[in-house]
Structure 1
């Protein structure tokens, strides 16, 4: 690992001090921008497709909730990295967008679970997770607003707790179609966390994390499209 670090030292800076932000190199800034910017249009198109496939008002509302979370994640992330790269002298704006970038992770987690919690039949107790997941997202948003970059381990714990808690409800559904893809997507996210916490240790670590996010989001989108929005008639027609 040390030999690799020396070879790619010009592509990355030293790890950030405790409770401080990592400062990417210009190469890393570019990679951070492009790895999410290229996903904005596919996210918008995919969200519009789910809305078009909706059969009733509740499906349309759910498609809107999921689509907004998906598109906003990539848009806010891209804007933040552009501001951080090109407008580093605007510290207040950069700080604001960095907070929004972190907040969007909570919103995106809630939005990713929304189709499964809204469109699948749940038990009387499990159904409370439909609104509780958004309560957790609101709590995470408030936490970022109050303690941004102060307790990174606590913040990471909140992300993971919010990601795994609804899974206990989703896996208890009587209809388990698509849950294998949900699990695979969750595993990809978890593997990506290794790179999320490796800035200054692995070159382009954050950009690699973006790739893991894109891959996991694609897996989850495929499952939502196939098992929640694509009609059985369409499936039979393409067999």
Structure 2
């Protein structure tokens, strides 16, 4: 798995040793949508490392209002992050990765660093947190995100369509995830946490006539382990 290391602006391994205990630090001093995006990208990093068998200790540092940020993060389906300012480096975590906002985080030359671009507006609506999460995932974390009403409406419609489709596909006999699709999904998230690339694979799967519906369901369930969009939420629901 590779990231663009903000220290050098070049591609580098996310961690020196695969499957070794790793500290993932989200450094989010603000209380705005950019701080929330930093936590979201750190969440994606944790998910990708765990999917590769790497044990992770996730911590939050620098937060001005950690309780509020954690509450908003939980609404977006972001896993809990411990208080890294109080906890130190933690037991058995000899390697680490930092996730910071652009221009934030100070200098830690010995730690690989992922930089996250800003979000506008700074205080978006959390009325539909899953739609907000998808709208953030639609853009690579190196690109600025504009969270206007149109972007949130489109994300809401996309989620509703996918969840209906996944609920329907779940009624069909299960089929394994095809190896080539699994490889494309992993290649995307292992290439600098390319969430838009993962979403492109799902859109291709949605309309691929060569796939059985049972395989489509398993593909979406597998991809959602990285995306965290609750795509299987409506399984068993009658539409």
Scaled to the shorter chain, the TM-score interval is: under 0.3
Q: Which of the pair is proportionally richer in helix?
A: 1
Structure with greater Cα Rg? 1
